[in-house]
Structure 1
Amino acid sequence: MACVPLVHVQAGDFSLAEEVRRLTGGRRDVGAVVTFTGLCRDEGGRLDALELEHYPGMAEAEIGRIAAEAAGRWPLTGLTVIHRFGRIAPGENIVLVVAAASHRRAAFEAADFLMDFLKSRAPFWKKEHAAGEAGVWVEATEKDRDDMKRWQR
């Protein structure tokens, strides 16, 4: 049975444990689960919040497209991608990738591929809000773009 990725773009928080349980519960073909949870940093104490904006429908479709590519490239038994939007305070969750497979390598590589995509090309606009300052829009770094290049065929 082919893996059908689950993609959510949401304002609310998520539960890592619930998402892992959803992908593995009662299954005997899962030998590995790799998770990545991205958190909002405080940037050395200067950041009050990160604000993420998106076009509803567009973000889900693009993340769904790349998740389907991952499911086609690696033999996954399950894949979940959750990305939050709105105002997120330091220490709060931003993104979750859960990749399940029969063997570890596929799960590791699929999760790594998805995070490189999310960091460099996901259709979100990010604004950093520092204490006492107007928000500043930020873009993907050159390092983020370089990381994505290794997956190009």
Structure 2
Amino acid sequence: MRRSSAVILVSASTVTLGAGWVIGAGYWAPPEIAPTAAPPTVPVPTAGSTDAATDAATAEPGPVAVDGAVIDTKYGTVQVQVVIDGEVIADVVVLKLTDSSETSVEVSARAAPILREEILAAQSTAVENVSGATYTSDAYRTSVQSALDAAGFTG
């Protein structure tokens, strides 16, 4: 008798719990959250903009930063960002340098500042390779040139 009472009690508890779950599902569901409005967008002038209103609003254009293409080499990837101020290459910032090995990291770290200085001095990508860093030099110049092309830079 004791055993059957326990079975009935367990069965009754399970049914009650299951029924409460089904019946109460709507009651315990989390309240709906009202969708939030997307933040307003503000037009940002880009290099080569043909929008007269945007051009008028930016009568004194400041520097424009343009990301160059990601260039794959057998030692890793290279990507730079070129900062153009008017008709001048104002800066070249490294975003990614080769990193397939400790040696490629060292070679790229040595070559990048030299390439930067030479490109800034020449105001073009017509610069020599850094000795011992041919792949990095080629990829660096290619990434810079892609950024200059994207910006419509004529120098």
TM-score range, shorter chain: under 0.3
Q: TM-score under structure 2 normalisation?
A: 0.28
Richer in strand (by share): 1
Q: Which protein has the bigger helix share?
A: 2
Larger radius of gyration: 2
Instruction: State the structure with bigger RCO (CA 8 A, min sep 6), 1 or 2.
Output: 1
TM-score, length of structure 1 as denominator length: 0.28
